Amino acid sequence: MEIRDRRSTEERLTEFITVYSGFIEEDFQYIEELKQDEEAGTPKNRLPNLEVIKNVRQTISLHQNEVMLATYSAGFPLETFKKEYLKFVESLISTWYSNSGYTDMLWALSIGILLEIDDEVFDKLVDLVRKDDPVDYLIDYLIHYRQPDWAIRDDFMFPRPYVFTEKITQTGSAVEATKLLQFYLEKEWYQGHRDTGWYDLHKVNIDNYYGYWSFEAGAICKIMGLNPDDFKEVDYFPYDLVVEED
């Protein structure tokens, strides 16, 4: 196993996975207790049990996303990463809304494309998008790759940094697209996430760091038929997820 994100260490990331997987297991047990309380009519919280369950499921989804990312960062085989990805997709089913979970869906769709995930799984994500109906070029672009009848709209929910991806995907030249995608990774992607909770996490709290990855960049590379070797040494690019098939 060779680590993929060298800002941390294999030991730290493995410990992170162990601890947060434990949190997830505890949360699932808590949900079962809340369900039993609901059936018995004996709530133990100030909020209704069903509302508490909803909040706990959101926490599970957050932690599952982090465990998935840490699994990739630490260098686990793609088969192991895929298992964590499938858990993450399931966690989105009852919790996802576009305003608060945009990057979750962006990464879920992108990873699904890179793993060539089954239609049954990919369609679960599409159903969530269809239900919430975010008007977003990049999400539409990713879905369109798997479902060509899906319309691609021009607007972006979060222009920074994602609006630059339209320029990449609209160019007709592979050489130009390669230059633009490299610029996106080097100058736009990370800097465009200054307002997120994980920005500079490796500097603030390395023990809770799980990795930085632009999975949409990998998906764009694959969809456009670009050479992933051109990005092998470019930071944030999920190289072996692009070149290897699960």
Q: Where are the alpha helices (DSSP H) in the chain?
A: 10-40, 49-74, 78-92, 98-114, 119-132, 137-146, 159-162, 164-170, 174-183, 201-204, 215-224, 239-243
Q: What is the CATH number of domain 103-246?
A: 1.10.3920.10
- Per-domain boundaries in the chain: 9-95, 103-246
Averaged pLDDT score across all residues of the chain: 94
Mean pLDDT, residues 210-231 taken together:
98
| Residue 244 confidence (pLDDT) | 65
Q: What is the dihedral of CA 52, 57, 62, 64, to 10 degrees?
A: 140
Q: How far apart are CA 13 and CA 178, in angstroms?
A: 31
> What b/e string do you get for 208-228 counting C-beta neighbours within 10 Å, with b at 16 or more?
bbbbbbbbbbbbbbbbeebeb
Please state, in angstroms and rounded to a whole number, the distance separating the CA atoms of residues 77 and 11.
16
User: Tell me: the pLDDT tens digits for 54-92?
Assistant: 999 999 999 999 999 999 999 999 999 999 999 999 999
User: Can you give the pTM of this predicted structure?
Assistant: 0.94
The tokens for 245 are: 């098939």
Write out pLDDT tens, residues 160-202.
999 999 999 999 899 999 999 999 999 999 999 999 999 999 9
Output 50 or 173, whichever has higher pLDDT: 173
